């Protein structure tokens, strides 16, 4: 059986263990457009947050106008 040459330090052990308890981000559905969004963030598809438009220029409109 292979035997470790050095003891694994607390730091190295904790750095490895940090990945074990990562939770998935809370995904919600946008009230305005129905797209999946991250909680407590502005919708990146329609720029709405808590039922009102945040940005002056909506990013999705800009992209579609340039593509068409």
* Residue ranges that bind Zn ion, judged by CB under 5 A: 30, 32-33, 35, 43, 45-46, 48
Q: CB–CB of 33/48 below 8 Å?
A: yes
Joined together, the tokens standing for residue 7 give: 């003891």
Q: Which is nearer to Zn ion, 28 or 32 (CB)?
A: 32
Cα-atom radius of gyration of the chain, to the nearest Å?
22
Q: Which is nearer to Zn ion, 4 or 51 (CB)?
A: 51
Minimum gap (Å) between residue 48 Cβ and Zn ion: 5
Distance CA 35, CA 33 (A): 6
Minimum gap (Å) between residue 62 Cβ and Zn ion: 15
């Amino acid at each position: 059986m292979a035997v470790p040459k050095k003891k694994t330090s607390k730091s190295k052990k904790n750095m490895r263990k940090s990945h074990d308890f990562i939770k998935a981000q809370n995904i919600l559905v946008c009230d305005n457009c129905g797209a999946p969004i991250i909680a407590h963030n502005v919708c990146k598809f329609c720029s709405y947050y808590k039922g009102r438009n945040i940005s002056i220029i909506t990013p999705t409109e800009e992209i579609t106008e340039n593509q068409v």
